[in-house]
Structure 1
């Protein structure tokens, strides 16, 4: 495969396009990170609730343990503190659940903010770049060693826009049919020009 053209203007456009895609991806990753951090701020009340519940649970557990040491009535005195401690644990769990929900929401928003715009752009950009890389790579292989300009000429005749074919010298088609090297080179140059590739300096010499 060949990623970039040899023709300077097309190569510059391709490089700018690739740089634009990378910039777009980095931009949305930064936006997603900022949103993720902003949403995580909403978890601070949940953290406060969890800390408060944990503190109440610890204090009530300590109080229940102390009350339980009272002779005869210790068990009865400890029960209210144990109940308050259980309530504190429940509050702490609710605070933790709130934090987990906010964390999940922050992560989902960050992922969506990256996947949607980046995926949309990649779906529009990747097929064209992949198609160019395959076609330019195949054309480059035809030019290795002894260039097979005949195949490129046939491709130009089959796919080149009519205005570009009409701009060739009169009689190019007939000359190509007769095996004229100049006509073959002209048609091959048309196809290579579409890909931004250069025609080799020397054409193969046909066998007599």
Structure 2
């Protein structure tokens, strides 16, 4: 596949476009990572609640175990501590849920920050690059082996801007119609120049 032109100016524009696309992608990935890290800071309160709930639940469980060892009234004494341990476990679970919600939000924001701007530019960059690669590869196939310059010349006559056609030597159209090889080469070269490709020297028309 022909990805880049032969002409240095055209190739330079293509490389610059590719590098700009890469830089744009890297920029938004870095922005997304920064935002992701900043949003994750919001999970700290949830982590603190989880730690507090776990600590209180552990202490209440220990107290319940100690109270249950009291003869006769041990179960009654342990019941409030067990209830507090269960409540503290619920608080700890709420802290975990808050952390999960913040982590999900951070991930979604990071993905959106990458997909939207990168996708917006890719929708413009990708058709341009793929369109060039498709046309340049087709032109390269026409030049392979015994080149079919007639098709390239006909394409130039059909699509080349009038100022470029007018810049050709006088009588080029009539000479092409009569099958003059030099006219065919001139028109084929004009079409290849649009793609930033060079017509190899010494090639004959098929």
Q: Give the TM-score taking structure 1 as reference length.
A: 0.96
RMSD of aligned alpha carbons: 1.0
- What SS class does the counterpart of residue 199 from structure 1 fall into? coil
Equivalence map 1:141-156=2 (5 Å): 141-156=141-156
Matched residues in 1 for 2:60 and 2:77: separation?
12
Runs of 4+ in 1 over 3 A off after TM superposition: none
Matched residues in 2 for 1:60 and 1:78: separation?
9
Equivalence map 1:2-151=2 (5 Å): 2-151=2-151
> Structure 1 82/202 Cα, relative in aligned 2: closer, same or farther at 3 Å?
same
Matched residues in 2 for 1:106 and 1:136: separation?
43
Contact 1:181 1:203 in 2 (8 A): no
- What SS class does the counterpart of residue 6 from structure 1 fall into? coil
In the TM superposition, what is the alpha-carbon distance from 1:59 to its structure 2 partner? 0.6
Equivalence map 1:151-166=2 (5 Å): 151-166=151-166
Matched residues in 1 for 2:32 and 2:84: separation?
42
Matched residues in 2 for 1:200 and 1:17: separation?
27
In the TM superposition, what is the alpha-carbon distance from 1:203 to its structure 2 partner? 3.2
